[in-house]
Amino acid sequence: MLTIRDLTVTYPSRGQAPITALQNVSLDILKGEIVVALGASGCGKSTLLNTIAGFLPATSGRLELNTHEIKGPGAVRGVVFQKDTLLPWKSVIDNVAIGLVFAGQSRAAARAQAHSLLSLVGLDDFANVAPYELSGGMRQRVGIARALATNPDLLLMDEPFGALDSFTREQMQELLISVWHKTHKTIFLITHSIEEALSLGTRVIVMSPRPGRIVRRYPLDFVKRFSAGESWASIRTDQAFL
Amino acid sequence: MPLYDVIGIKIDPYLNTSQTVSSASAFGLSDGQKTRLISAATIMLFGLAWWALSTYHWVATLFLPSPSDVWEQLLAIVTDGYANATLWDHVGASLVRILSAAAIAFSLAIPIGLSMGLSPWVKGLFDPPIEFYWPLPPLAYLPLMIIWLGIGEASKITLLTLAMFAPICLAAQAGVRGVSEERLHAARSLGANGWQLFWHVILSSALPEILTGTRIAIGVGWGTLVAAELIAATRGIGFMIMSASHFLATDVVFVGIGIIALLVFAFSYSWQKLEVFLVPWKGQE
Ligand SMILES: Nc1ncnc2c1ncn2[C@@H]1O[C@H](COP(=O)(O)OP(=O)(O)O)[C@@H](O)[C@H]1O
Ligand SMILES: [Mg+2]
């Protein structure tokens, strides 16, 4: 579905040699996968995600989503950021509905659809609250609902739970898996936590810095087992997981 | 890590709470209460000094009329008016000038400032004239206003408009520039086109900054008012002060200053209320 071939991204830097953030990265993401990029900070994970999102131009290489070349940002790829980017002057429901309003839907229709997304992330009761009245975890849930509203082919998440406490993070991971189970979305997620990568990924790619590239790829089945009903406790004590 | 915006500085919330607790608990008062208490004491001290200096004639009445003189003069002006016009005529004349200049300045400076923030073309076009004139004190180009526009209302209102224009225009620009890139990216990836980006994201992001700009502008406007009313006015608080000074009527000067102070205070107070109403998210993000 997503095809990346020999992607190189360099940042121009004033006076000095340009920084090569990614070099010759190739990656295929198939429909329904959760591909997790794992790596220390500075190894180009965000650069990769931002290029897929269309925020950054590729310096060289090919980038296609469903055989369409990625030229700029658009609603076919939903993005969830580490820092929430909700609009504080709009209520939670209007934040979730905004992508549909951008697409030309009436406010009422957009809101009706946004309501079902809010219940998907368990926030039915917070529709008319302002985003800044919510906790960090709840805001990220709104962020996920908002990104899903336009029914994107691919969901991009840049350390979405990185700013949350470990308890909330675990809840959010379970929420994400249940969302994935219900919507069958294709997800590309970034983390620097090995445990998070193992818990969420159907496939993990490990990246290394200077220049950023993919050094290892692991297919995994823990998420599928969890979705199939097995408890985290039993998966987490599994030898393979450890 | 969640960060709170305290006095414009990003401070670790844990660090911050421990500090405020220790410093404020010394008197069992919050920092805000303590500041207000000290301010109240200062005001009382000033009042007392004024009363003592004038009542015991340590300073001549010509230089410092006593509080009771000023109060009686105020009552006299309220009942009999000053210079063939009632107090309300004077206040009204000043308000009309300030408000019409503000209306013109707002309606020009906000769209121009926003477009300057959005487009390098518009910025290139307007930057030279604005950068040239805005550091100039209004009194410096006041004579030009008189030569070009005469001594009627037009020159006064134009002077005030020019003085108010720059702070609003610069604030609107800064507001647009200050929109977070992440927020723009997020909206783009939700499918926003240029116009939607402006309407749903940029305008509201810039609003706090614009409101601050308008508040500063109104302050500058009051500051320029006295200068504007030097232009052969027969009405206005600024005129009242200037004319009283010619007759060495210091108590009338005091009344005029007091009225301006009151009006400025009322304006900035209601403007703050307006900000809280329009930008409830300020400082909460
Ligand atoms: N806007 C930028 N300008 C210049 N260099 C950048 C920029 N953004 C990131 N980089 C550099 O690119 C490299 C990869 O960064 P990034 O993709 O943010 O890594 P990660 O998300 O894995 O922490 C780093 O060395 C970083 O310094
Ligand atoms: Mg990153």
Size of interface A-B (CB pairs under 8 A): 74
Could you tell me what percent of chain A has a pLDDT over 70?
91
Evaluate the omega torsion of the peptide bond into residue A211 and state whether it is cis, within 30 degrees of 0: yes
- B92 with B52, same domain: the answer is no
Is B284 inside a domain boundary? no
Q: What is the mean pLDDT of residues B123-128?
A: 94
- B128 with B193, same domain: the answer is yes
Q: Taking chain A, what is the end-to-end CA distance rounded to the nearest angstrom? A: 31
Instruction: Assess contact for B214 and B172: CB atoms under 8 A.
Output: no
- B92 with B25, same domain: the answer is no
- B24 with B75, same domain: the answer is no
**Predicted local confidence at residue B118, as pLDDT:** 93
- Domain count of chain B? 2
Q: What is the mean pLDDT of residues A74-86?
A: 89
- B185 with B209, same domain: the answer is yes
**Phi, psi torsion values for B177, nearest 5 degrees:** -65, -30
Is B192 inside a domain boundary? yes
- B14 with B78, same domain: the answer is no
**Predicted local confidence at residue B11, as pLDDT:** 39
pLDDT in tens, A106-131: 999 999 999 999 998 889 899 999 99
Q: Which residues contact B78 (CB under 8 A, 6 or more apart)?
A: B87
Q: What is the mean pLDDT of residues B60-84?
A: 86
CB contact under 8 A, A130 and B2: no
CATH number of the domain bearing residue B92: 1.10.3720.10
pLDDT in tens, B169-211: 999 999 999 999 999 999 999 999 989 999 999 999 999 999 9
Is B283 inside a domain boundary? no
Out of B59, B81, B108, a domain closes at B59
Of B236, B242, B234, B99, nearest in space to B161 by CA: B99
Q: Which is higher by pLDDT, B61 or A53? A: A53
CB contact under 8 A, B281 and A53: no
Give dist(CA A224, CA B178) in Å, integer.
44
Model confidence at A235, in pLDDT bands (50, 70, 90)?
A: low
Is B66 inside a domain boundary? no
With beta carbons under 8 A apart, name residues in chain B contacting A130: 280-281
- B258 with B176, same domain: the answer is yes
Give dist(CA B183, CA A146) in Å, integer.
13
Is B237 inside a domain boundary? yes
Query: A103 and chain B: CB distance < 8 Å anywhere?
Result: yes
**Predicted local confidence at residue B205, as pLDDT:** 93
- B51 with B154, same domain: the answer is no
Number of helical (H) and strand (E) elements in chain B, helices listed first: 12, 2
Could you tell me what percent of chain B has a pLDDT over 70?
88
**Predicted local confidence at residue B68, as pLDDT:** 87
Model confidence at A190, in pLDDT bands (50, 70, 90)?
A: very high
Model confidence at A239, in pLDDT bands (50, 70, 90)?
A: low
Is B285 inside a domain boundary? no
Range of the domain at B94: 71-278
Give dist(CA B13, CA B238) in Å, integer.
48
pLDDT exceeds cutoff 90 at B108: yes
**Predicted local confidence at residue B134, as pLDDT:** 87
Query: Which residue among A55, A87, A130 sits closest to B185, beta carbon to beta carbon?
Result: A55
Q: In testing the pocket of ligand 1, which one of A9, A11, A25 has its CB within 8 Å of the most ligand atoms?
A: A11
**Predicted local confidence at residue A134, as pLDDT:** 92
Residues less than 5 Å from ion ligand 2, measured at CB? A 46
**Predicted local confidence at residue A143, as pLDDT:** 94
A192 alpha carbon – ligand 1 mean position (Å): 15
- B33 with B167, same domain: the answer is no
CB contact under 8 A, B204 and A87: yes
DSSP state of A90: S
Instruction: Assess contact for B28 and B20: CB atoms under 8 A.
Output: no
Q: Cα separations (Å) of A130 from A27, A95, A172, B180, B282?
A: 39, 9, 20, 19, 12
The burial class, CB within 10 Å (0-12 / 13-18 / 19+), for B89 is middle
Give dist(CA A149, CA A99) in Å, integer.
7
Query: Which residue among B182, B186, B284 sits closest to A88, beta carbon to beta carbon?
Result: B284
- B39 with B87, same domain: the answer is no
Out of B11, B34, B59, a domain closes at B59
**Phi, psi torsion values for B153, nearest 5 degrees:** -65, -30
Q: Which is higher by pLDDT, B12 or A62? A: A62
Could you tell me what percent of chain A has a pLDDT over 90?
38
* Chain A residue closest in CA terms to B278: A89
A1 alpha carbon – ligand 1 mean position (Å): 26
Q: Which is higher by pLDDT, B3 or A25? A: A25
Model confidence at B100, in pLDDT bands (50, 70, 90)?
A: very high
Q: What is the mean pLDDT of residues A183-211?
A: 87
pLDDT exceeds cutoff 50 at B10: no
- B118 with B193, same domain: the answer is yes
Nearest CA distance, B285 vs chain A (angstrom): 6
Is B64 inside a domain boundary? no
CB contact under 8 A, A99 and B186: no
pLDDT exceeds cutoff 50 at B7: no
Six-digit token string for A105: 């839907």
SS3 of residue A17 by DSSP: coil
Model confidence at B55, in pLDDT bands (50, 70, 90)?
A: confident
Is B262 inside a domain boundary? yes
pLDDT exceeds cutoff 50 at B21: no
Q: What is the mean pLDDT of residues B52-78?
A: 86
Average pLDDT, chain B: 85
- B8 with B55, same domain: the answer is yes
Out of B15, B35, B59, a domain closes at B59
Does the interface ipTM go beyond 0.90? no
pLDDT in tens, B143-167: 888 899 888 889 889 999 999 999 9
**Predicted local confidence at residue B20, as pLDDT:** 42
